[in-house]
Amino acid sequence: MASTFYTTSLFPTFISFPSRIPSTTSTSVHRFRAKMLSTVTQVESPTVLGFGGVGVDLLATVAEFPNPDDKIRSTSLKVQGGGNAGNALTCAARLGLNARKTRTCIHTPGSPPMVPDDISNSTLLAALAGVKLVYFDVRLHDTALLFAHEISSLQFRKPIPWTWTGAPTVPSALVSMLLRLPKLKFVIVTLGADGCIMLQRSVEGESVQAEEIDADDLVEKLKCQSDSSTATPSCVSSDFTSLHAKGVGSVCGKLFLGTAEKIPQSELVDTTGAGDAFIGAVLYGICTNKSPEQMLPFAAQVAAIACRALGARAGLPRLTDPRLASLS
């Protein structure tokens, strides 16, 4: 069985998906365009701004996994685009959004570091003009905060590992994140082949069950309700309720449990970038007003399709892909 190894060079950047924002820099603009289904009425796409890493992946395939200090030859070598933000936003572009790269800084971390002063005020304002949604891939925190300070409400953030919260379990970590970040509307954690969990904060006016429920117990209950017999992604959800996490606190919200596609072993090629593909599809789902029950299976299907090709981007589907027809 062949093994593939990756070497990545990162180019931190911010990337937007605007409908009419002109570039204010002297760097060249590279556009990625994807056509929507001809039967779908065209509407002006919301602007999505991404800030994070864009890279170049070098993919070397060898005949077998090497032992330490082995000297072997690769059977093939491919060069593809990479980087968390670049992968996620490329996925969103292939699903139908217009993409424009407004600025790129070729950069080696620490030599010298990219700092907020590298971004002029005019560039910042142009990038944020008309933005509905901002995505950060948790790189270059100081520079990312410069954008965040200009945004009145942050509607989406990349999931942060539960080790950041100090919570003992994933469900309790989600509760902790909503308590520690009160402006978050929801948070999603991906679990690979085990699917994903989403916790959505309740808003004023929504009916909430009076009984307090342990978050871990509720996730286990949802797992029992989930249909494990089907290979296609699905989603089950709770009612809005008061969720308690031991040693963390309580929050009013709604839990969603999404499953992943059961990919036949013969079709599974490479899981690199599956999480980025999932995030790109979530960005698309937010912009097209999909409900969580629609968005999570759709994102899982997009990620599963991407796993059927080598590298993080080669397998990313377009909205016209027939494998998305039942979930689009």
Contact 96, 34 (CB under 8 A): yes
Residue 114: the pLDDT is 63
CA distance 299 to 263: 15
The answer to whether residue 28 is domain-embedded is no
Half-sphere exposure of 132 (CA within 13 A, CB side): 15
Residue 135: the pLDDT is 80
Residue 100: the pLDDT is 52
3-state secondary structure of 321: coil
What's the whole-number mean pLDDT along residues 243-253?
A: 93
pLDDT above 80 (res 308): yes
The answer to whether residue 247 is domain-embedded is yes
User: In terms of pLDDT, which residue wins out, 251 or 161?
Assistant: 251
Contact 240, 253 (CB under 8 A): yes
User: In terms of pLDDT, which residue wins out, 266 or 160?
Assistant: 266
Residue 30: the pLDDT is 34
What's the whole-number mean pLDDT along residues 71-100?
A: 85
Give how many domains the chain has, as a whole number: 1
3-state helix, strand, coil in the chain (%, to 5): 25, 25, 45
The verdict on pTM exceeding 0.75 is yes
The answer to whether residue 294 is domain-embedded is no
pLDDT above 90 (res 243): yes
The answer to whether residue 167 is domain-embedded is yes
Half-sphere exposure of 206 (CA within 13 A, CB side): 14
The answer to whether residue 142 is domain-embedded is no
pLDDT digits 0-9 by tens, 191-219:
999 999 999 999 876 667 668 999 999 99
pLDDT digits 0-9 by tens, 169-185:
999 999 999 998 888 89
pLDDT digits 0-9 by tens, 96-129:
876 655 444 555 555 566 666 777 777 777 777 7
Residue 133: the pLDDT is 77
CA distance 49 to 30: 15
Helix 274-287 vs helix 84-94: angle between axes, to the nearest 10 degrees? 50
Domain interval for residue 185: 161-260
User: What mean pLDDT, rounded, does the chain reach?
Assistant: 78
The answer to whether residue 273 is domain-embedded is no
Residue 121: the pLDDT is 74
The answer to whether residue 226 is domain-embedded is yes
| Whole-number Cα distances in Å, 61 to 68, 156, 271, 307 | 17, 36, 15, 16
User: In terms of pLDDT, which residue wins out, 235 or 144?
Assistant: 235
Q: How confident is the model at residue 27 (pLDDT cuts 50, 70, 90)?
A: very low
The answer to whether residue 228 is domain-embedded is yes
Residue 54: the pLDDT is 81
What's the whole-number mean pLDDT along residues 154-178?
A: 70
Cross-strand bridge partners of residue 198? 188, 256
Residue 23: the pLDDT is 33
User: In terms of pLDDT, which residue wins out, 135 or 2?
Assistant: 135
Q: Is 268 exposed, middle or buried (0-12, 13-18, 19+ CB in 10 A)?
A: exposed
